[in-house]
């Protein structure tokens, strides 16, 4: 059984990190035209995600909320967090061989770190841009992206339109600054451990001090 694992939402300052694992027939995945989720329209991603869920042998989704990311960041790097999450999903998939999109610059090191967290021996094929190379990882990337997009839509309904949630997005920066100015704190679902969030808080607090 061929399995693949990928994530969505590694870099945003707002919203969860989602890791998905898929076990499915690769001929089927090729026949429906899976590819890197970033190269597909939202509508196409949703359509393919439904097909994958219907026909896959197994689909596992793990969601790590911002507050949990912050807690883990106290003792771990983001790469180390991904290692732990990938290992958890692989354990649930119960496969003997899995393809993963390498988060580490060293593909082999990423594979070995994942293996160190597994309860049984699993062959890990770790590659950069695996979501563009292997259909099974493309499928996992689609599932992860669609799940995260759904969660982001729910968050936007709760706190308002914040753009993409990425630190480089001017709409996201403007939203965070406005929210902090109005409420004296960062909005819910924000990753407080992100440098951009810490800088904003520090800047706002300094401005407050300067007024006294």
Q: What is the pLDDT of residues 26-43, one digit of tens each?
A: 999 999 999 989 899 999
pLDDT in tens, 41-100: 999 999 999 999 999 999 999 999 999 999 999 999 999 999 999 999 999 999 999 999
Q: What is the pTM of this model?
A: 0.94
Give the H/E segment covering residue 210: helix 195-210
User: Residue 209: what pLDDT?
Assistant: 46
CATH class in words for 159-210 = mainly alpha
Q: What is the distance between the alpha carbons of residues 185 and 204, in angstroms, rounded to a whole number? A: 10
Burial 38-48 (b: 16+ CB within 10 A, else e): eebeeeebbeb
Residues with Cβ within 8 Å of residue 189, at least 6 apart in sequence = 14, 15, 16, 65, 66, 155, 158, 159
Domain ranges for the chain: 3-156, 159-210
Q: Inform me whether the pLDDT recorded for 208 exceeds 90.
A: no
Instruction: Read off the tokens for 76.
Output: 């771990």
Closest to 16 in 3D by CA, of 113, 91, 85, 93: 85
Check the CA dihedral 125-129-134-140 and report its sign: positive
Contact at 8 Å (CB) between 66 and 15? yes
Q: Write out pLDDT tens, residues 93-119.
A: 999 999 999 999 999 999 999 999 999
**CATH code at 3-156:** 3.30.420.10
């Amino acid at each position: 059984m061929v399995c693949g694992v990928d994530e969505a939402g590694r870099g945003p300052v707002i919203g969860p990190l989602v890791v998905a694992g898929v076990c499915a027939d690769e001929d089927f995945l090729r026949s429906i035209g899976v590819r890197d989720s970033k190269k597909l329209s939202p509508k196409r991603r949703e359509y393919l995600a439904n097909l994958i869920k219907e026909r896959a042998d197994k689909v596992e989704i793990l969601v790590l909320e911002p507050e949990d990311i912050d807690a883990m960041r106290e003792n771990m790097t983001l790469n180390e967090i991904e290692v732990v999450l990938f290992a958890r999903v692989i354990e649930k998939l119960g496969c003997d061989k899995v393809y993963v999109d390498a988060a580490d610059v060293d593909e082999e090191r990423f594979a070995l770190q994942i293996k160190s967290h597994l309860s049984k021996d699993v062959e890990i094929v770790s590659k950069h841009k695996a979501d563009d190379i292997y259909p099974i990882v493309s499928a996992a990337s689609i599932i992860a992206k669609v799940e995260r997009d759904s969660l982001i839509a729910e968050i936007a309904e709760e706190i308002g339109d914040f753009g993409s949630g990425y630190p480089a997005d001017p709409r996201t920066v403007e939203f965070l600054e406005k929210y902090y100015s109005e409420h004296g704190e960062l909005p819910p679902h924000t990753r407080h451990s992100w440098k951009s969030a810490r800088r904003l808080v520090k800047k706002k607090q300094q401005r407050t001090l300067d007024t006294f």
